[in-house]
């Protein structure tokens, strides 16, 4: 539910901010000073500058709140880590978009360094999110060990096997469909993960077609279908767990320093702007 609210809010806010100044952003740079909107949407104007202030605040708050939640044991029970991550992603993607509007799509000098470092941080964050969601976790958001993940999968498969409405041959066919190849190396693990994402719907249709041939009420079939799909997902998670956990550790080594560099450059940009008298409405 929260995820849907955040996605709709992101789209709504980004679309509104873009549309109100669309004519200005689409006008060639050399002609913008002659537009009425220049007094509102230019980087130093009240709205354009406000986008920069608000976008920067969003990124700072998003990074700070998530980092504090992850590192302070006293906050371990304050909401699920997954919820905090969703809010972190919302703030740290909408913030850069507003900063892009603040720049009015003029990228040059120190601004270009700040902008491209921000792009790299956002891109690496998207990749980190991709890894994070594919690593099995507890309800609190902590990563499972390989043994715990395998135990969870074995329990799911046992429940599926104990359903009398699923004949042995059908169960064997389902097992064949959900088997996941073991990765040879880290790039291969990423490739297998992407391959699973691209073929997941097709496998779901195949499993659903197999279960249509079985006996049992619609409710039983629905439950069996849920177990079968869960078994498929857990199979992928177990197969890729070790590789994705290693990738996630490497990602942290890359993402954190990059974020620090971005904020340092951003601080320099803000300092220079203030020294030149661009202090927004303060």
Which pLDDT score is estimated for 18? 92
- Rounded Cα distance between 264 and 45, Å, is 24
Which pLDDT score is estimated for 216? 62
Neighbours of 62 (CB within 10 A): 20
Beta-bridge partner residues of 137: 143
Residue in the block written with tokens 């995820």? 3
Indicate the pTM of the whole model. 0.71
Neighbours of 236 (CB within 10 A): 23
For the purposes of burial, counting CB atoms within 10 Å of the CB of 241, is it exposed (0-12), middle (13-18) or buried (19 or more)? buried
Which pLDDT score is estimated for 17? 92
- Rounded Cα distance between 271 and 171, Å, is 65
- pLDDT tens, N- to C-terminus, the chain (282 residues): 788 899 999 999 999 999 998 999 988 888 888 888 888 898 888 898 899 889 989 989 988 888 888 777 666 677 777 788 889 889 988 998 998 898 888 776 666 677 777 788 888 888 888 888 777 766 555 676 767 777 777 777 676 666 655 666 666 666 665 556 677 788 888 888 888 788 778 877 777 777 676 666 666 667 777 777 777 777 777 777 778 888 888 887 888 888 888 888 888 878 877 887 776 654
């Amino acid at each position: 539910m929260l995820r849907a609210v955040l996605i709709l809010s992101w789209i709504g806010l980004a679309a509104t901010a873009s549309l109100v100044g669309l004519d200005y952003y689409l006008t060639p740079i050399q002609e913008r000073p002659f537009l009425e909107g220049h007094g509102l949407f230019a980087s130093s104007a009240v709205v354009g500058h406000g986008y920069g202030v608000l976008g920067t605040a969003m990124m700072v708050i998003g990074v700070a709140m998530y980092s504090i939640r992850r590192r302070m044991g006293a906050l371990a029970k304050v909401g699920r880590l997954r919820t905090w991550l969703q809010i972190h992603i919302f703030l740290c993607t909408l913030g850069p978009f507003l900063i892009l509007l603040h720049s009015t799509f003029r990228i040059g000098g120190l601004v270009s360094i700040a902008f491209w470092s921000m792009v790299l941080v956002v891109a690496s964050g998207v990749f980190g999110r991709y890894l994070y969601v594919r690593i099995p976790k507890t309800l609190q958001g902590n990563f499972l060990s390989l043994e715990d993940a395998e135990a969870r999968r074995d329990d799911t498969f046992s429940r599926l096997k104990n359903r009398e409405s699923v004949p042995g041959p059908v169960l064997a066919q389902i097992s064949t469909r959900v088997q996941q190849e073991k990765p040879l190396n880290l790039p291969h693990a990423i490739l297998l993960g992407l391959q699973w994402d691209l073929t997941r719907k097709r496998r779901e249709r195949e499993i659903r077609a197999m279960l249509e041939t079985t006996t049992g009420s619609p409710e039983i079939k629905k439950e069996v279908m849920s177990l079968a799909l869960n078994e498929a997902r857990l199979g992928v998670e177990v197969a890729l767990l070790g590789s994705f956990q290693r990738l996630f550790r490497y990602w942290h080594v890359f993402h954190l320093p990059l974020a620090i560099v971005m904020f340092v450059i951003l601080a320099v940009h803000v300092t220079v702007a203030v020294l030149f008298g661009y202090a927004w409405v303060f």
